[in-house]
Amino acid sequence: MLTLPHIENLFAHHGAAYYGGEAISQTEHALQCAQLAEQAGESEAVIVAALLHDVGHLMLAESITTDMRHQEVAANALAPLFDEDVTAPVRLHVAAKRYLGAIEPAYLDTLSPASVQSLALQGGIFTPGQAETFAAHPHALAAVRLRRYDDLAKVVGLDTPPLGHYMEMARRCLRAA
């Protein structure tokens, strides 16, 4: 079972790996994403979701040419620890990219080459019906905001608060015992 110490250990042992085809590490990406959410005034649950949205990558030996559904792995592993306010945006952040591609054609021009490649692996943009179904989800808006932070969180050398800052938020967001 995933625990907060295990999450910290995942970042310590696997977070230095590069994030997909980007020029930053998994940990740098996670911290930047959380920082963007925090700067936007998001709830602690969304900030924690931003931090942990790609923890599935750290849990999987994932190939660049295979979509291992890291979002599902992460959300399922996080579900015993956190409520839907954290896990749903994690689970939906890939769907949010597919949704944004469907409703905002110019969105696709903002994606990095690695993100364009992963979009193709993840099923491409949604059909109108799929977009409508996604938009009806109660956590769709949070997932879209998380997606936008995710897309921006790729800045080489950006200063961020340390992991511990966000792990304290994660502790406060844990399910009641």
For the chain, domains (ranges, CATH) are 4-173 (1.10.3210.10)
Q: Is the dihedral of CA 152, 103, 145, 83 positive or negative?
A: negative
The first and second tokens of residue 161, run together, are: 């608060």
The one-letter amino acid code at 51 reads L
Beta bridge partners of 100: none
* Amino acid making up residue 6: H
Of the chain, the end-to-end C-alpha distance in Å amounts to: 15
The residue type of 142 is: A
Q: What is the pLDDT along the chain (177 residues), one digit of tens a residue?
A: 789 999 999 999 888 877 666 788 999 999 999 999 999 999 999 999 999 999 988 887 544 445 567 888 899 999 999 999 999 999 999 999 999 999 998 999 998 888 888 898 889 999 999 999 999 999 999 999 999 999 999 999 999 999 999 999 999 999 975
**Helix locations, 113-175, DSSP H:** 113-121, 128-135, 140-152, 163-173
